[in-house]
Structure 1
Amino acid sequence: MMKLYGVIGDPIAQSMSPVMQGQEFQQLGIHAHYQPFHIKPKDLEDAVKGMKAIGVEGFNITSPHKTAIIPLIDKIDPLAEAIGAVNTVVREDDQFIGYNTDGEGFIKALQADWKEHFDNERVLIIGAGGAAKAIFYTLLSKGIVNIDICNRSVERAEKLILDCPYQGNSTSLSLSSAEAELGNYDLIIQTTSIGMYPDLSSSPISLDALRSDTFVSDIIYNPFETAILTGAKQKGAQIQNGLGMFVYQGALAFERWTGIMPDVERMANTVKKQLGGKIC
C-alpha cells in the first residue's frame, strides 16, 4: 500500500516541496506519494483530524500554519516548542509529533558550504522574524553563543533575545549600529524578505565595513543571488543563498519520516531545475 505524505499551507501552489520530496521517493524506490494540500486557516483543525483519519504518515507545514498547528498535534519536540513553530509532523503509531527542522537545516547547509565547526565565531543575524528565531534558537542550542541580532525594531530584536530559553552572549542592535560594527563579525545571516521580488536591488544594510573573510548567508534562494550577496561577493566575501537551508530542512524531514537521509545534492538540483533559472 502506498504511503501518503504532504505539505500544507495557504497558498501552496508555489511550494517546491512536492517536486523535491516526490522525486526522492521515486529515486529511492520508496512506494509513497507527496501531496500538496491547500488548507485555509479556518479549516486547519479539521484538516489535521482528516489527515490522521486517512493515515497520512507525515507532512510539512508552511505559512501561515507553523504556529497555529501546535495545539492540534499530540506532541511537540522541545526545540520546536521553544521556537513556537512546527514545520514537520511525523506519525508515530496514532500520534502526530511536531518538529522544526528549519534551524538545523540552516546549520547543515552552513557546515556544507563554510566550515564544520564555528562555535567561537561571532555571528550577526539580520532580522527578528520567524526564520531568525528558528536559526537563533537552534544555533544557541548547539553551543554557538556569540550571536547578535539587528533589526529595524530594536525592541523586537531585544524581545527575541530575552525570550530565548538557551543561554548566549547576545546584543540587540539597530541597523545603523550593526553597519558600523560589521567588521567584528565572522558570519552574517540575512533572514528578512529584503532582496526578493520586486525589490531585487534592495539590501537590508550597508556592507561598507564588511571584511573580505566574513561568510555572508541569505536565506532567500529566489533570486539565487540577492543584492546583499552580490555586494558581499564584490568585497571578496564567501556567500551562500538559502537553497541549501531549504533542501536540508526538507531532507531532515524526509529522514524523520523514513529513516533514510536522501541525496541532498540531487534534491538541490531538482529545485534548481524546477525554478528554471527564474529570478522572480
Structure 2
Amino acid sequence: MANHFALIGYPIKHSLSPWIHEQFLKKTNLEGTYTIHEIPLTDSFEDHVKKLKETRINGFNVTVPYKQEIIPFLDEIDGMASKMGAVNTVANKDGKWIGYNTDGIGYLRSLESKFPALFLNMQKRVLVIGAGGAARGIFCALDSAGFKYIDITNRTARSAQEIAELRSSDTNTAILTLKEAEDNIKDYDVIIQTTSVGMKPTVDASIINLDHVRQDSIVSDIIYQPIKTKLLQQAETSGASVHFGHTMLIYQAQYAFEIWTNKKSPIDDMDLKLQLILEGR
C-alpha cells in the first residue's frame, strides 16, 4: 500500500521537503508520494484542513504560518509539541490526527551525527542565540537530552526568560545580553545561532563577534542560505569547529518520516547532496 504525505504552509512552492522525503521513501523501499499543499493567507484554513482529512493522508508536515493554527484540529498532541506550543508534523494513527514537533530533536540528531563525543558529557556549556520558535525547540531538546548548562542570549530578555522557564529543575540557565555573551564567549563549548541574522540577502551580517571563541568549541548556525554564514566564517577563522544548518532540515524530516512509517531512514550522503542543491551545483 502506498503512503501519502504532504506539506502545508505558505509560501512553500520552493520547499526542499519533497526531495528529502522522496529520498527516504527510496532508501526504505516504500511506495509513496510527498506533495505540497499551499494554503494562501486569504483562504479558509479550516476548509483546507477538512479537505485534507477527507483524503485520509498518512501524515503531513506543517510550516509557517500554521504551526499553531493546526493544533485545534488535532485529536492529540505529544509532550514536546505541547511544551513548544507548535506542531510541525501530524501523523494519522488509526484515523486520529496526532501532532508532534520534530525541530528540536531533529537538530540534536544533526549535531550528534557530526559531534558524537559532545553527547558523552552533559556538563558542556551551551549558548543559544535567539529566543524564537527554533530556539525554543532546540532549548527544550537540549534540556531533555540532559545538558545541565544552557544559557540564552537575545535582544529582548523577556522572550529568553519565557524559554528558560521551560527548563528542568536541574538545568542551569542564565539570560545574557548579546554584549555579555560576546564578552564571555570563551566560556562556551557549543554556540548555537537560531536567529535570521546572516540569512540571504544580508549575508554580511553577524549577530555576535567570535574573536575570542575557543578552538575546541563548536559553532552551529541553523541558517542554510547561505550554507556558510558570516558567523561560521568567523568561527572557522578562529579555529573552532562548525555545524551547518541544512543538516537540521534532513534530520528533523528523518524523525517525521520515522513517526509516520516506523522506519528510520539512513542519511548516507544526503547532507552533501542537499548542500549542492542549495548552492545551485
Q: Which bracket does the TM-score occupy, shorter chain normalised?
A: over 0.9
Counterpart in the other structure of 2:236: 233
Counterpart in the other structure of 1:148: 151
Q: Which amino acid aligns with 1:200?
A: V
Note if contact 1:75-1:97 (Cα within 8 Å) is conserved in structure 2. Answer: yes
Q: How much does 1:56 deviate?
A: 0.4
Q: Residue 112 and residue 26 in structure 1: after superposition, are their counterparts in 2 closer, same or farther (change >3 A)?
A: closer
Note if contact 1:111-1:117 (Cα within 8 Å) is conserved in structure 2. Answer: no
Counterpart in the other structure of 1:212: 215
Question: Which one of the candidate residues 230, 248, 267 is aligned to 1:264?
Answer: 267
Q: Which amino acid aligns with 2:85?
A: G
Q: How much does 1:245 deviate?
A: 1.1
SS in 2 for 1:264: coil
Q: Residue 216 and residue 260 in structure 1: after superposition, are their counterparts in 2 closer, same or farther (change >3 A)?
A: same
Structure 1 range deviating more: 123-132 or 2-11: 2-11
Counterpart in the other structure of 2:38: 38
Q: Which amino acid aligns with 2:32?
A: A
Q: How much does 1:257 deviate?
A: 0.9
Q: Which amino acid aligns with 1:16?
A: L
Question: Which one of the candidate residues 188, 192, 199 is aligned to 2:191?
Answer: 188
Counterpart in the other structure of 1:105: 106
Distance 2:154 2:167 in 1: 20
Distance 1:131 1:186 in 2: 20
Question: Which one of the candidate residues 162, 177, 180 is aligned to 1:177?
Answer: 180
Distance 1:118 1:80 in 2: 26
Q: How much does 1:226 deviate?
A: 0.2
Question: Which one of the candidate residues 157, 166, 172 is aligned to 2:168?
Answer: 166
Q: Which amino acid aligns with 2:9?
A: G
Counterpart in the other structure of 2:134: 131
Counterpart in the other structure of 1:81: 82
Q: How much does 1:80 deviate?
A: 0.7
Q: Residue 180 and residue 196 in structure 1: after superposition, are their counterparts in 2 closer, same or farther (change >3 A)?
A: same
Q: Which amino acid aligns with 1:2?
A: A
Structure 1 range deviating more: 152-161 or 131-140: 152-161
Distance 1:232 1:67 in 2: 35
Q: How much does 1:151 deviate?
A: 0.6
Q: Which amino acid aligns with 2:212?
A: A
Structure 1 vs Structure 2 CA RMSD: 1.5
Q: Which amino acid aligns with 2:194?
A: T
Distance 2:270 2:97 in 1: 26
Paired positions, count: 277
Counterpart in the other structure of 1:56: 57
Give TM-score scaled by structure 2 length: 0.94
Q: Residue 265 and residue 94 in structure 1: after superposition, are their counterparts in 2 closer, same or farther (change >3 A)?
A: same
Q: How much does 1:180 deviate?
A: 0.7
Counterpart in the other structure of 1:21: 21
Q: How much does 1:277 deviate?
A: 3.5
Give % identity.
40
The answer for unaligned runs of 5 or more in structure 1 is none
Distance 1:277 1:237 in 2: 27
The answer for unaligned runs of 5 or more in structure 2 is none
Note if contact 2:62-2:89 (Cα within 8 Å) is conserved in structure 1. Answer: yes
